[in-house]
A and B are shown apart, each in its own frame.
Chain A
Amino acid sequence: MKSAKKIILLIISLVIVVIMLFPFYWMFVTSIKLPGEVVTSPPIFIPRNPTLSAYYTVFEKWPIGRYLLNSFIIAFPATIITIIMGVMAAYGLARFQIKGLRIYLMVLLSSMLLPDVSLVLPLFMIFSRIGLLDKFPSVILANVMLQLPFVILILRPYFSKIPKTLEEAARIDGCSSVGSMLRIILPLATPGIISASILTFLFTWGEFTFALTFLSSRELLPITIGIYNTIGQYGIRYNLLMASSIIAVVPVVLIFIFFQRYIRGGLVVGGMKE
């Protein structure tokens, strides 16, 4: 391709990126504006007196710190539980002759397509009966449920790719089945496990429906529901809402930047996760 054409294509795609990502920029500049600069016509694109006062306010007046902590308290165990069960199942489905393998895969695939609202009511009633409502485990379990089928499906190909002879050699050298799995297979599947963990963590971080329904105590809310609840309570003050949105997005952006390779790999293999 001629270089002039390449440059035109580059400019077109940069324009597209700027348009697509402009909402993020707007979120950020709104968060560092003084209230008077938020509501202006014409809008101010570069704040004249950038300030972090909105951030101070959300940390002092809203329990944003607490919400952040709660999000971690939910997302970490959910990720660990999902990955442990997901790795085991993906390994089992990839390495052994399983009767009805196609049926298992179909079940996993179709459970990924289920609407949240078709499970939130029955789980709400089950959890209320066993006293789990308004406690962290209810939301942790719901997130494991949401991510587990997806994790099994994206991990299985990683295990299938590893040559069987490697494991057989380990067995002959006296490794047990579990030993060869832990020592030989697991290290080779690490890239897949990293990408599955990151995606599980990020999706759990952003989960809305189950947290909204199962948790009601203010001190238990994750940041997504915390922000949602503040919309009505304080009137709509967009610099504060945008500051708290930025706080909720920062971990996502950091993970995205550092692990971009894994995220893309995982999404392409899974092929289909919103």
Chain B
Amino acid sequence: MNPRRMRISLGAGYLWILPAFLFIILMIGYPLIFNIILSFQDVTTTTILSPVKEFIGFKNYIGVVKDPVFYEVLKNSFIFTIGCVFFQFTIGLVLALLFNLKFPLSGSIRGILLITLMVPTVVVSILFRWLLSGDFGLINEILIQMGILEKGIAWLAQPSKALGGVMLANIWIGIPFNMMLLAPGISAISPSLYEAASIDGAGPFKKFRYITLPMIRPAILVTLVLGFIYTFRIFGLIYAMTSGGPVNSTTVLPIQAYKLSFSFFNFGRGAAATIILLAILIIIILIYLRLVGREEVME
């Protein structure tokens, strides 16, 4: 290729990415900046139509944080996220280890489980509303048959139990997701490592502790951090199950942000709440990068 052709093909590279680039700027970049601007403005139903909105500094942020509900919302968010990530990850890891063993159908069974990831979240919400229903819900009926409960509990209608019910639904979706992220790392470990350990007399637990865990550490970190982010930002699943109730007991930060805008029509505060949500996620990513970075330095 002569230099002129080269230059044309260099420019052509940018032409190929241009449509997607413009689209992302217009549909993600601009709205994000717009959202930040909204969070510093007084935007309610009365001011939404006026072209000039008053800048009110950090008043929206102060309003969100000083709201008596905010502490409970944050608490719900962290309980929901940490609880879900813990169970999804642990069970997902056990299943990934199980399906890594070679036995008939292990591959196809692992594949079938992935279907929970593809089901619309609303369907999962409604299904678990039914499973957790106080009147003839299957989970109650099973617990009654087993003699654990005497009478059905309306899991999603009691403030003390609703968050647990919502977590159950999300853990159910999340297990195959965690399994899928952890599986490639586990199958990539060379069998010779385990054989060498066997010769040295290591049992299954020691092999797991000293070979498997250290070898899949990077995959574990990625899975945990993605799990945290994806769980912390969940909106639809909870909204369709409980709308954040009863009495805010399942209101997590994304739900609070959405309600501030679309139920209470305080759009400025809603925007501020989403910025707080983003800030928390950015902190999590920074912690992750620091952990990964430190390990790279150590190695």
Contact = CB atoms under 8 A, between A and B. Distances in A.
A23 interface: yes
B17 A122 contact: no
B136 A40 contact: yes
Contacts of B89: none
Interface in B116-147: 116-123, 125-131, 133, 135-136, 138, 141, 144-145
Nearest to A202: B118
Contacts of A264: 111, 114
Contacts of A241: 126, 130
Contacts of B12: 92, 96, 177
B120 A117 contact: no
Contacts of A223: 120
Nearest to A20: B113
Given A13-B106, A206-B121, A272 B181 contact: yes
B122 A30 contact: no
A6 interface: yes
A115 B184 contact: no
B130 A30 contact: yes
Given A96-B13, A149-B24, A268-B180, A115 B233 contact: yes
Contact of B233 (A85, A95, A116, A256): A116
A153 to B, nearest CB: 11
Interface stretch (B63-71, B195-203, B209-217, B266-274): B266-274
A238 interface: yes
Contacts of A202: 118
B254 A116 contact: yes
A187 interface: no
Interface string A220-254: 00011101100100001010011001001100110
A148 B119 contact: no
A92 B13 contact: yes
A123 B33 CA distance: 11
Contacts of B155: none
Secondary structure class of chain B's binding surface, majority of residues: helix
Secondary structure class of chain A's binding surface, majority of residues: helix
B98 A263 contact: no
B103 A6 contact: yes
Given A26-B131, A126-B34, A121 B16 contact: no
A166 interface: no
A231 B125 CA distance: 11
B236 interface: yes
B27 A121 contact: no
Among B112, B236, B254, the most chain A Cβ lie within 10 Å of the Cβ of B236
Contacts of A13: 98-99, 103, 105-106, 109
**Leading 7 A-B pairs by shortest Cβ distance:** A96-B13, A92-B16, A206-B120, A115-B233, A208-B236, A89-B20, A122-B31
Given A96-B12, A242-B130, 18 more contacts: A9-B98, A20-B113, A89-B21, A97-B13, A110-B285, A111-B24, A115-B254, A117-B233, A117-B254, A122-B32, A149-B24, A206-B118, A206-B123, A238-B130, A242-B126, A267-B114, A272-B181, A274-B117
6 contacts: A6-B103, A10-B105, A39-B135, A43-B136, A248-B122, A268-B184
